[in-house]
Amino acid sequence: GAVVSQHPSRVICKSGTSVKIECRSLDFQATTMFWYRQFPKQSLMLMATSNEGSKATYEQGVEKDKFLINHASLTLSTLTVTSAHPEDSSFYICSAREAGNSNEKLFFGSGTQLSVL
C-alpha cells in the first residue's frame, strides 16, 4: 500500500524556536494533504488542508501565521510550528490523498510528538 513518511517522529525544543515537520508520499502523488493535531486523550482534530501549489485552508481557531504549511510538490508537504510554546506540545500527524485514487482512501504518516519546554 501507499506509504507516507513523516519526520521527525519526536522532537523536543525550547520555547520560542521553530520546528518543521515533513511528510513525504513515497510511492504516490499526494494532491491533498491534511494536517491533524491530537492532544492527550483527545481526538485527532483537523488543523488545515493543503493542495499542491496552493495556499492551505485553515480550520477555525488555527493560526495560519503560527502553523505554516507548504505543499510545493506532489510528494512533499511541511508544517512549521513557528515560535513554539508549551501549549503547542501535541501529536501532529499528516494524511495524504492520492491523485486519481478511485477508492479514495487516505494514507497517514506515523506522527510527530512535539514537546516544547
Q: Is 21 in the site for another protein (CB under 8 A)?
A: no
Beta carbons of 81 and 67 less than 8 angstroms apart? yes
Which residues, numbered 30-59, are part of the site for another protein (CB under 8 A)?
A: 32, 34, 36, 41-46, 49, 51
If one asks whether residue 74 binds another protein (CB under 8 A), the answer comes out as no
Three-class DSSP category at 54: coil
**At a CB cut-off of 8 Å and minimum separation 6, what does 77 contact?**
22, 23, 30, 33, 35, 50, 69, 70, 71, 94, 96
Q: Rule CB under 8 A: which of 88-117 touch another protein?
A: 91, 93, 95, 97, 104-106, 108-111, 113
Site residues (vs another protein, CB under 8 A): 6, 32, 34, 36, 41-46, 49, 51, 91, 93, 95, 97, 104-106, 108-111, 113
